[in-house]
Amino acid sequence: EVQLVESGGGLVQPGGSLRLSCVASGFTFSNFWMSWVRQAPGKGLEWVANIKQDGYEKYYADSVKGRFTISRNNAENALYLQMDSLRAEDTAVYYCARRIAGSATGGNFDNWGQGTLVTVSS
Amino acid sequence: QSVLTQPPSVSGAPGQRVTVSCTGSTSNIGKGYDVHWYQQLPGTAPKLLIYGNNNRPSGVPDRFSVSKSFTSASLAITGLQAEDEADYYCQSYDVGLRRWVFGGGTRLTVL
């Protein structure tokens, strides 16, 4: 059974930093693209970032580009999201998701973690 | 404003059929990118419901089906059940924006 477990969320002040983690199990982690998707309170889903199997190809939403960094450790089946220069509008539940795609574009997110809440507030 | 447009809400009585529309453009659905659908039950994470051309993950009943027409797609739910009450999101890829896009979500209420 595929499992994705996020951690690292919490309350942080505007301008601060936070690092989210996602530990995967139940599948060969190194064979899959991975993603972060967020959901602001009471709002819809917003794609944040993707990372390729080898960690060298990464894509970011414009809203987080230059502030967030996605990375992975295949030896530890772990996905990360380093979030810097946080803003109030980054407040959301952040989901780790496995991406299914045959190429760098397109595809879907076939398994999701339970999410971790990030609150940016003074 | 979402790149993919969905109605905020739909409703239906048990046993009825409802549809949820997802309208995109020539940069995403009309460009040939697949549309995928997610179900989010209250207080839970989204779950992939249907991907591509009516492909259902294991465990998803065939009461759920999709159709696609040029720049739009539609999710149909037949034999509506109380447990279908949830938020539904469509998702695709936008080649102009170079990002993965979701619809704003549609809340299904079972009357």
Model confidence pLDDT, tens digit, residues A103-115: 778 899 999 999 9
Distance of alpha carbon A101 from alpha carbon A119, whole angstroms: 31
- B59 Cβ contact list (under 8 Å, min separation 6): none
Position A102 scores a pLDDT of 76
Size of interface A-B (CB pairs under 8 A): 59
pLDDT at B53: 87
A37-81 residue pLDDT tens: 999 999 999 999 999 999 999 999 999 999 999 999 999 999 999
Query: What string of pLDDT tens digits covers the 111 residues of chain B?
Result: 899 999 999 999 999 999 999 999 999 999 999 999 999 999 999 999 999 989 999 999 999 999 999 999 999 999 999 999 999 999 999 999 999 999 999 999 999
Task: List residues of B whose CB lies inside 8 A of any A CB.
Answer: 2, 33-34, 36, 38, 44-48, 51-52, 57, 89, 91-93, 95, 98-105
Instruction: Flag if B91 and A108 touch (Cβ within 8 Å).
Output: yes
Pick the closest to residue A32 from A111, A93, A94, A95 (CA basis).
Answer: A111
Chain A residues touching residue B36 (CB < 8 angstroms): 108-109
Secondary structure of A41-74 in the HEC alphabet? CCCCEEEEEEECCCCCCEEECCCCCCCEEEEEEH
b/e for B63-79, b at 16 or more Cβ within 10 A?
Answer: ebebebeebbbbbebee
